[in-house]
Structure 1
Amino acid sequence: MKKLILISILSTTLLFSSCDTLNQYAGVINQATGIPTNTEINLGLKQALEFGTNYSAERLSAKDGYLGNLAVKILMPPEAQKVEKTLRSLGLNSLCDNVITSLNRAAEDAAIQAKPIFVNAIKQMSFQDVSNILLGQQDAATMYFKRTTSIALADKFRPSINTSLSKVGATKYWGDLTSTYNKIPLVKPINTDLAGYVTDRAIDGLFIEVAQEELKIRQNLVARSTSLLQKVFGYADRNRQ
């Protein structure tokens, strides 16, 4: 009986020792073959996303971040584009230009506030989210951020944009533009929620920038600026769905 107990204890000890050894061997094999661990995948992707979203917010918040970038530049509201065309035909180019510049300045003022919202969304990611993004479509991260941050961004941006519209003169310029146009005989008066419009366009522009940064790190090897990013995204290149 004692022999059986001793044999059982030895067998169990050997089994666990074997498991530990196998786990060690697996780690060595992963290291040798360039396969990142789950921890490395989690850290690497989140690092990349934080780099990309921070850079996007900072770039758009700089002077001419929106105004000087044709991909995200905020133009007149659709219902006011006829207004713009009419006023420019009357020689009021400066008035139209002032409105467009001020709309973009308001968006630039708000853009930096996206950083903590993106950071929070990254912290909330499960490993399944991370894996789906890493091995998913080229815009998988951007789609994740659209789904998880759009409401928070709108809540944060709108008050800031509303304040900025007055600060940069947009409210005055817009009032001058609409009142000038509405005085033209037989035209239909325009009535636009300017803060809402700029908020929506500012967020759209932010996601365009985030998508560009995501594509860059997926396709441009130089953008993988750390050994961890190189390992994780190299693995993704080999295994993407």
Structure 2
Amino acid sequence: MKRFMYTSMLAVALGATACTVTDLQRTVDGVLAGTANAPLTQTEVAAGLKQALEVGISNGAGQASQTDGYYGNSLIRIPFPEDVQRVENTLRQVGLGKEVDKFVLTLNRGAEDAAKSAVPIFVNAIKQMTIQDAWGILRGDKDAATSYLRRTTSQQLYQAFNPIMVKSLEKTNATRYYADLVNQYNKIPLVQKVNPDLDDYATQKAIDGLFTLVAQEELKIRENPIARTTELLRRVFSQQNQS
């Protein structure tokens, strides 16, 4: 009896040894494929989209809040306000180009500083998302989730983000530099006086920049399986092109 049990155990051991790493991987892949192909519920789709947006905003805000996160990125760098572009041109013509450049730098530094506080504001907005448009977003354009978030939460995000942006502009002296530039410009004979709302401009541009980075992160998750860092993301986005 003992001999029989020993022989059986040996056979099992040899059988396990004969199972190669490739065989094991195939088995695991099969299990994962079965899981990925399982029908998704609306709740899972909504949860997956929220998770994707949270990953996107966390990564995007992380990039933006680094030194030169805005200033060094041509896609989101905040320029001199467009509606007073003539101010910049005139100031450069009268030899104040360095002061203009200093302002633009501090303006972007303010956005980088404010971006550090963006994540909880955006995540709170993401949590309010319903499942009504979940499937349409999943199978929509490559930035559909980001566009949905922008469309449904922009006003809320602006109201929450604006005070943070104002403090950051003051912290980096961007507000003071801009006031100095405008005052110097207004002293130039025959020019049309200006006094635009820098806080509003900077806030909107900072939010636009964050959405640009979130859209990039969403595209990664949609197109690159490696970017799907959780099982839920893998399940949801593996079926995005299925009918």
TM-score (norm 1): 0.79
Give me the CA root mean square deviation: 2.2
SS at match of 2:194: coil
Distance 1:46 1:65 in 2: 24
Q: Which amino acid aligns with 1:63?
A: T
Tell me the CA shift for residue 169 of structure 1: 1.0
Instruction: Pick closer, same or farther for the CA change 1:171–1:140 going to 2, 3 Å.
Output: same
Match of 2:40 in 1: 37
Distance 2:193 2:115 in 1: 31
SS of the equivalent of 1:127 reads coil
Rounded to whole Å, the distance in 1 between the matches of 2:153 and 2:105 is: 27
Aligned residue-pair number: 211
How many angstroms does 1:33 deviate by?
Answer: 7.2
2:69 aligned with 1:86: no
Gaps of 5+ in 1: 1-27
Aligned to 2:206: 202
Q: How many angstroms does 1:36 deviate by? A: 4.2
Q: Does the C-alpha gap of structure 1 residues 172 and 99 become closer, same or farther in structure 2, counting only changes over 3 Å?
A: same
1:39-95, CA deviations, whole angstroms, 9 ceiling, x for partnerless residues? 543443332221111111221122211111111111111132211112222332210
Matches of residues 92-241 of structure 1 in structure 2 within 5 Å? 92-239=96-243
1:137-193 Cα offsets, whole Å, 9 max, x none, are 222111211122211221122112222222211122112211221222111111111
Contact 1:141/1:214 (8 A) holds in 2: yes
Query: What does residue range 42-57 of structure 1 map to in structure 2 within 5 Å?
Result: 42-57=46-61
Please give the alpha-carbon distance, in whole angstroms, between the structure 2 residues aligned to 1:152 and 1:40. Answer: 25
Tell me, in whole angstroms, the C-alpha distance in 1 between the residues paired with 2:68 and 2:201: 19
- CA deviations on 1:101-146 (whole Å, 9 max, x unpaired) are 1111121222233212322233233333332221222221112111
Using the TM superposition, give the Cα deviation of residue 32 of structure 1 relative to its aligned residue in structure 2, in angstroms: 6.4
Contact 1:117 1:149 in 2 (8 A): no
Per the alignment, in what secondary structure is the counterpart of residue 162 of structure 1?
helix
Aligned-residue identity in percent: 52
Q: Distance in 1 between matches of 2:117 and 2:136?
A: 27
TM-score (norm. length: structure 2): 0.78
CA contact (8 A) 1:66 1:74 kept: yes
Contact 2:56 / 2:215 at 8 angstroms: preserved in 1? no
Please tell me whether the aligned partners of residues 91 and 100 of structure 2 are also in contact (alpha carbons under 8 angstroms). Answer: yes
CA distance, structure 2, for counterparts of residue 156 and residue 125 of structure 1: 17
For 1:150, the aligned partner's letter is S
The answer on whether the counterparts of 2:78 and 2:205 sit within 8 Å (CA) in structure 1 is yes
Q: Distance in 2 between matches of 1:166 and 1:79?
A: 22
- Could you say if the C-alpha distance between residues 95 and 48 of structure 1 is closer, same or farther in structure 2, counting changes exceeding 3 Å? same
CA contact (8 A) 1:113 1:156 kept: no
CA distance in 2 between counterparts of 1:156 and 1:181 reads 32
